[in-house]
Amino acid sequence: MAASPTLLRTQVGIVGGGPAGLMLGHLLHRQGVESVILERRSEEHVVERVRAGVLEQGTVDLLMETGVGARLQREAMRHDGIYIAFEQARHRIAMSELTGGRAITIYGQNEVVRDLIDARRASGAPLHFEVSDLSLSGLDGDRPQIRFVAQDQACTLTCDWIAGCDGYHGPCRDAIPASELRTFERAYPYAWLGILAEAAPTSDELVYSLHHRGFALFSMRSPTITRLYLQVAPDEEVAQWSDDRIWSELEIRLSTHDGWKPREGPVLQKGVTGMRSFVAEPMRYGRLFLAGDAAHIVPPTGAKGLNLAMADVARLARAFERFYGAGKTDDLETYSARGLRRVWRAQRFSYWMTSMLHRHPADAPFDRRRQIAELDYLVSSRAAMTSLSENYTGIPFD
């Protein structure tokens, strides 16, 4: 006879132990709200996967204000501008000057995750990795449940609310009846071949480059590590790209007339990432709230993915604080509508950046000339540069 499941109780059940789930748990703990975080992957996988590294001003402020920004303050790199390169010339956009001091900060997502795991462990609040057989029920009632297996023990977690922070492939969004959910998606006809290289950066700020052979991006993770990307076909095989071929193509697409080019070094990691846009509406069903990649995906050109997730959970944590502190449900009721407004603004900006800087396979000579004209206008118009800067550094969290 099968053993009875272990019965657990919490206020907020959080599915997903990535940056969104961990930050939500951290915020709730500071507010005195109980939560349990459940993650299907291993801790090593969650920490080591290489993801975003560009933090908006709002994300940095949130980390600092909530006590998890000490290492970021010591090790991260603040950038007050970016470079846009085309026709083999770099043009600096002075974002901080155009936005009243807002900037971006280079600090890898995996480092954010490390800091948040340390904070969770220090709090003593529950955090479970490698759970399996996870399913949700009772979302349209007042006591939703999460069933899962942890360390070979079947468990049933009864919650007041559930936060689905489990990414695009997680079970939370799929638990919403199809009749209650609309999805919007766009697949792009290109991908990014990304590498992590042991090479000191040769530019103090990011370089976005349009070349007739395709897009390239020069970025970094630390004073000794660079992160670089090449536009490739969506079905590109990594095995076809030797280190020598990668460096040769990066030099062709990034080098400028003033002699600037990326410094070469040993390639530590490489991989191809497809590009798509995705939005699920609404971001709430009954007692379930979606946050982060479970609700939306953006192409990486605009550096919005992690930052949207941080804005989601900051908004959701404030809504829970009002519910448990004052019995108010208004912020819970407006969570989705407010979130989707920000999401669609980020989708617009990311689509614009992507289409402006990538070569579409169907482009004609007209499109090439149009792209150059758009970039020329961008770097010569204070109004256009201000618009990019406001969106890139991030609108304040609502």
Q: Which of 26, 29, 79, 358 is catalytic?
A: 79
CA-based Rg of the chain, rounded to a whole angstrom? Answer: 22
Contact 354, 191 (CB under 8 A): no
Contact 158, 145 (CB under 8 A): yes
Q: Which of 26, 211, 296, 304 is catalytic?
A: 304
208 catalytic? Reply is yes
Q: Which of 83, 285, 335, 392 is catalytic?
A: 392
Nearest to 315 by CA among 294, 291, 296: 291
Which residues, in sequence order, are bridge partners of residue 153?
Answer: 150
300 catalytic? Reply is yes
Q: What are phi and psi of 299, to 5 degrees?
A: -60, 145
Distances (CA, A) of 64 to 71, 310, 317, 395: 10, 13, 16, 17
Contact 35, 146 (CB under 8 A): no
- The whole-angstrom distance between residue 168's C-alpha and the CA centroid of its chain comes to 12
User: Can you read off the two tokens belonging to residue 232?
Assistant: 């490739």
User: Can you read off the two tokens belonging to residue 365?
Assistant: 């000579």
Determine the Cα–Cα distance for residues 90 and 190; give it in Å rounded to an integer: 24
Q: Which of 126, 201, 262, 300 is catalytic?
A: 300
Cα of first residue to Cα of last residue in the chain, in angstroms, is 52
Say which residue the tokens 């980390």 belong to: 63
83 catalytic? Reply is no
Which residues, in sequence order, are bridge partners of residue 150?
Answer: 153
Vertex 300, ends 318 and 219: CA angle to 5°?
110
Q: Which of 208, 229, 285, 335 is catalytic?
A: 208
Q: Which residues lie closer than 8 Å to 143 by C-beta, 6 or more apart?
A: 158, 159, 160
Nearest to 233 by CA among 189, 194, 275: 189
What count of residues does the chain have? 398
Which residues, in sequence order, are bridge partners of residue 385?
Answer: none
Contact 15, 162 (CB under 8 A): yes
Amino acid at 288: L
Catalytic site positions: 79, 208, 300, 304, 392
